Structure formats: C-alpha cells, structure tokens
A and B are shown apart, each in its own frame.
Chain A
Amino acid sequence: MLQTDEYTINIGPQHPSTHGGLHAEALMDGEIVKDVAVHLGYVHRSVEKIAESRTYTQFIPYAARLDYLASNLPCLGYVQAVEKLLGVEVPERAEYIRVILGELSRIAAHMLFVGSLAIDLGATTGLVYCLRDRERIMNLFEMTSGQRLIAAYMRIGGVSADLPEGFITAVEGVISDLPKMVKEYDGLITGNEILQARCRGIGILKPELAVAYGVTGPNLRASGVPYDLRKADPYGIYSRFDFDLPLGSRGDCLDRLTVRLEEIEQSGRISAQAVKDIPEGEIMGKVPKVIKPAQGREVYHRIESAKGELGFYLLSDGSEKPARLHVRAPSFINLMVLPHISRGGKLQDIIANIATLDPVLGEADR
C-alpha cells in the first residue's frame, strides 16, 4: 500500500479568487478537502473603534466602506440606527429614495456576485457582462451623490440631496432592462452545463446548520428558510411593498446563485413600486444641529443588506460621539460555515463555495 500524506494548502490571502484578503487554509488529501480553516483580519480597519472618535454624522462615509459593493445599504442601516437612537422622523420622500437606492445597491451587489462566481469558475466573460450592467446602476449612484462605488448619500434624518432631474426615468430604464440582463446571465452562466455540474449538489448548506450558525440573507434563503428582514421585521417603509422571497430547495451553490438572480428581479419590482409611488416633499427630517443622544441610550437596528442581516448596535454616552458601535456583519457570520460545506468536496469546490457565500471582506473584517 502506498503511504499517503495529508497536506495543507493556503488559499489566500493573496489569491485570485478570495475576494479580498481572505485566507482559507485547506487540509487536503490529494484533491479532496478534509478541512478548511478560515483566517480573517487581513483588511481589519478597526471601523468600530473609529466610530468612537467620530461624531454620529461623520461616521456615515465609514459605514459606506463596510460593504463597499452595496454601499447604500450599510449607510442606510447606520443612519436608521442613529435615527432610532434620536427618535427622528424621516420624511416620506426620503424613505422612498432610500428604498430605491437600497434596492439598486442590492441589485448591483448581486450582479457582482453572479459575475464573480462566473470568473471564479473560469468564465471571464460572465464577469464582464455583469460589470457592464452594474455600471448602469453605478451611474445612477453618480447622479444622486456624485460617488459611484462608495456613496455617502444617506444622512441622519434623510438623504443629502434631492433626486436630480431625470433620475426617475433613468431608474425606470434600468429596471425595465433587468429581465433582459438576467436572461443573458441565465444563458451564459446559469444555463451552462459545465457550471451546473460544478454547482449542483456542491457545498450543501443544511437549513438546520444555517440557522444554528446564524447565516442570513440569500445564503439562508437558498437553503429554503423563508427569512428576510424586509418581511420578518420590516424597517423603514418596506411593509408597503409587494414582493416575493425567492427560496432554494437544496441549499447548494446553484441555489445560492439562482436565488440571487431571482432577487435581482424582486428588487427591481420593489424599486418599480417605489418609483411609482414616490411623493413630493421634504428630504430631511427635523434633526438637531448637534447630535447628542441622551446618555445611556442604546439601540440595535438591523436591516436586510445584500449579504444578510446587517445590524448596528449603538450606545450613547451623551456626547457627540457614540460610546460604542458594534456591527453585526453578515459576511463574517456567513463565512463561518465554509468549513462545514467544503469538507469532503474537491479543491475546486472551495472556490465555488467561497464565491457563493459571497463574503465582502471589508465587512467581515471591519
């Protein structure tokens, strides 16, 4: 009998497909994965500590840098947390604007997900098409805030400026083209037999395991658990919109892909409704000039970000700056199931698993 040895192989932190500074240490037996250990912290920027030395308003651009692929969503979560802390009312129009931008961000993030999955599996062209379409959403962000990727558009009490002229028509144009784009991804990426063979039945995340680990977002829904904060605990004005929760049945990589593709269309649906109903009016609520929440007040606010349940815990010490900020980062928690779903698979499956868990390292490391 030949004697064989197990060996470790380091995927990352410098590696083409770890989406940033992720380091996965795989224990391998030939091409078969015995175990994976996830090492984090390569892009740690101590965002939570920075918050303690910034005023409530000043932290907004940093919040945008948490999940830089859908920057409006973490911003939204943060400003809503502060609004809860202060008890500020947000004007209707601002709420609608937030919904539109939030959903557009989600679409952008999911498009990048589809593209990065494609390139991680070796189909470069899929990425390029996704980026091309995502660019149109980036242009919309540029219209509103002047920033494309990391938009600091949300403000405590509202948004920084009213929608520019022509924005609504532009959004409608993008939304109406969404089905066409998704169809193209379906043809090139999802429908491809090679990709299906690489994703179907790979990295199965059992619903029980997902719930036990606190996995949220599309990853959880791909496992068949109908849990979405927009429905389960509607924040803002989400209870007014009509949309479906796409669910998977197997919890494998393919489900995680299709769920996101369907979510792109659902998000388009929400934005279409928001665009239709958006009222005229103020965009900023009544916010004190100097934001000083009462001492000892604390709040936990969570939203459904593109990656899952994104929560902000804020504690006030009565000064202009928060005493403590904690971010419940969905990417971080979702990543923790990577060893479980990778064991017993092949080396190439780890890549597919990382890609479909869709971590954004800025958020996971904070």
Chain B
Amino acid sequence: MFGKGLGKGLAITLKHALAMDITIQYPEEKPFLEDRYRGSLVYQYEKCIACGLCIKACPNRVLALETFVPEGSKRKQVARYTIDRQYCLFCNLCVEICPTATLYFSHDFELTQFRREDIKVVYLPPQPSPIVPAGIGGTEAPPEAAAAEPAPAPEEADKQPAPPPDTAEGAKRERQVEAMQAALTKNPQKILAKLVQDEEAIELLAAMLGKDTKLSSKLAELMIADRDKAQKLAAGLITKVRKASAAEEVKTDEPS
C-alpha cells in the first residue's frame, strides 16, 4: 500500500529522535583515539643518529635534516631537524624506516596554527641554558630561524655549539618519572586530581590504571614531560570508559 514506506521511515526517525545522542562534545570531551592513531609526527633529538633514512623515505619532502660533525668526534650530529607538517601525508613511512625509533606519531591532533610559518616544527640541539624546557627533545625555533636551508653550513654549526646530549638531565627525568609512577600506584586519586576535576572520573581512571601498569607508566611519563598532554590522555581515557559503560548499560537495559 502506498504510504507504508513513508510510515516506516517516520517510525525510524521517531525512534532515533527519542534515542540517546551520539555526539561527542569535542573541546570538552576528547574522542577516544586508538593506539596507532597518527596525530602529529614527533621527533626525539636524543635518539636520532642522523642517518637520513627518513628524509629519503618521505614521499612529500616533509622532513629536512642538517648535520655537523663536532670537533674531536667522528659521529655526525643533528644541527637541525625540520618537520614541515603542512605537507605530511601521515603515511608512517618515515617512522617505519627509522632504525632507532626516533620518530613517532603522537595523539595530538590539534595541529591548527594561526600563522602558516608556525606549522613547521624545528628541532634544535638542546641548549644548556635553563630557559629551555626539557621537552620531548628540542625546542621550537622562532620562525625566522626556521627558513631551513639544506646545506649544513659549518658557520651555522659554530653559532650553535651543540653540547653532547644532556645525560644528567635525562637521568634526572627518569628518576622523576619513576617517582611519579610510584606515587600513581600508591595514591592514584591524589595525583589524578591534578589532571581531572570530576570525582567520579578520578575513581574510574584510578581503577583503570590499577589494572594496567603500562598505561600508568605512560601517564606518569607524560605528566613529567607535558602536563597538557597528560590531561588530554586522561580525558580521552575517561570518555572511553564512560562510553563503554554506557554501552553496557544500554545492553543490560534492553532485555528487561
């Protein structure tokens, strides 16, 4: 009969109108990201051996590497490593080819910048000065310095005398991370309160971390390195747990 299909369609839309909405309210609620999610490419200065394989592997000339050989040493060192994110295809070829796992994709997907120059990320050797935060491995140079020339000019290398990677600093950080992890396992609620406000969320997260040591060590590391990122990770985890429990609730509700 004419109109049956119409009625069926109306019934379907009505059903959905009354059902739960699936929107993730983005800036407050972070989407759950899978482990392999390719957010943005990150480079760790300490690990790089300046072999240049990644440069060759990249299809879109996103990466650039400048090296120099410090006096009294035979090993090449990185003077500047540039990732021009705007051209990245997120293909993972550079990550796969890197022999030392220097490059990896972080979960940070908020890559928007106000100025085009800011899209480019430049990694320089760690400076001894205290201003430079011990970040993931380098600092972002101001845009003027970012005009990367492929020629590794020796004068430029003079201007930026690169000390050997700061091992003392690294060790200190490792200690910090360890301490943080211990604290996380001992009293998760207190530590997590720094990341999340919601009481219930803290409980959820604490339960989750108790089960998964890998996760807690990751969180601890992030808390030392980058509080913001840790917060994001925590938020993402909470959304995931909530979603899962909500789905379970729905499932258990249905038959009754």
Which residue, of A57, A164, A189, has the highest number of chain B Cβ atoms within 10 A?
Answer: A57
Q: Which of B24-56 contact A (CB under 8 A)?
A: 33-38
A146-B105, A160-B92, A160-B96 as given contacts; A191 in contact with B22, CB under 8 Å? no
Residue pair A146, B92 in contact (C-beta under 8 Å): yes
Q: Which residue of B lies closest to A194 (CB)?
A: B6
Min CB gap B155→A, angstroms: 33
Q: Which residue of A lies closest to B22 (CB)?
A: A132
Min CB gap B40→A, angstroms: 11
> Within the complex, which residue of A57, A125, A144 is in contact with B36, where a contact is CB–CB below 8 Å?
A144
Residue pair B38, A58 in contact (C-beta under 8 Å): no
Bound Cα distance from A335 to B195, whole angstroms: 54
Check A258 for interface membership: any CB of B closer than 8 A. no
A residues near B9, Cβ cutoff 8 Å: 187-189, 191-192
Bound Cα distance from A60 to B93, whole angstroms: 10
B residues near A191, Cβ cutoff 8 Å: 4-5, 8-9
Residue pair B36, A192 in contact (C-beta under 8 Å): no
Q: Which residue of B lies closest to A144 (CB)?
A: B36
B residues near A143, Cβ cutoff 8 Å: 34-36
Check A184 for interface membership: any CB of B closer than 8 A. yes
Min CB gap B107→A, angstroms: 10
> Within the complex, which residue of A62, A147, A184 is in contact with B12, where a contact is CB–CB below 8 Å?
A184
The size bracket of the interface on B is 20 to 34
Residue pair A145, B12 in contact (C-beta under 8 Å): no
Check A161 for interface membership: any CB of B closer than 8 A. yes
Residue pair B93, A188 in contact (C-beta under 8 Å): no
Bound Cα distance from A111 to B4, whole angstroms: 24
Q: Which residue of A lies closest to B10 (CB)?
A: A188
Min CB gap B8→A, angstroms: 5
A54-B59, A152-B91 as given contacts; A164 in contact with B36, CB under 8 Å? yes
Residue pair A58, B57 in contact (C-beta under 8 Å): yes
Q: Which of A123-165 contact B (CB under 8 A)?
A: 125, 129, 132, 139, 142-147, 150, 152, 160-161, 164
Q: Which residue of B lies closest to A320 (CB)?
A: B56
Residue pair A57, B93 in contact (C-beta under 8 Å): yes
A residues near B35, Cβ cutoff 8 Å: 143, 164
Check B147 for interface membership: any CB of A closer than 8 A. no
A residues near B36, Cβ cutoff 8 Å: 142-146, 161, 164
Check B187 for interface membership: any CB of A closer than 8 A. no
Q: Which of B52-68 contact A (CB under 8 A)?
A: 57-59
A54-B59, A146-B105, A192-B6 as given contacts; A152 in contact with B92, CB under 8 Å? yes
A residues near B8, Cβ cutoff 8 Å: 187-188, 191
A/B interface sample: 16 pairs, CB < 8 A = A57-B57, A58-B93, A61-B93, A62-B89, A146-B90, A146-B92, A147-B38, A150-B90, A152-B89, A152-B93, A161-B36, A164-B35, A188-B13, A193-B5, A193-B6, A196-B5
Known: A60-B93, A194-B6. 19 other contacts (CB 8 A): A57-B57, A57-B93, A60-B91, A61-B93, A132-B22, A143-B36, A146-B34, A150-B89, A152-B90, A164-B34, A164-B35, A187-B9, A188-B8, A189-B9, A191-B5, A191-B9, A192-B9, A193-B5, A196-B5
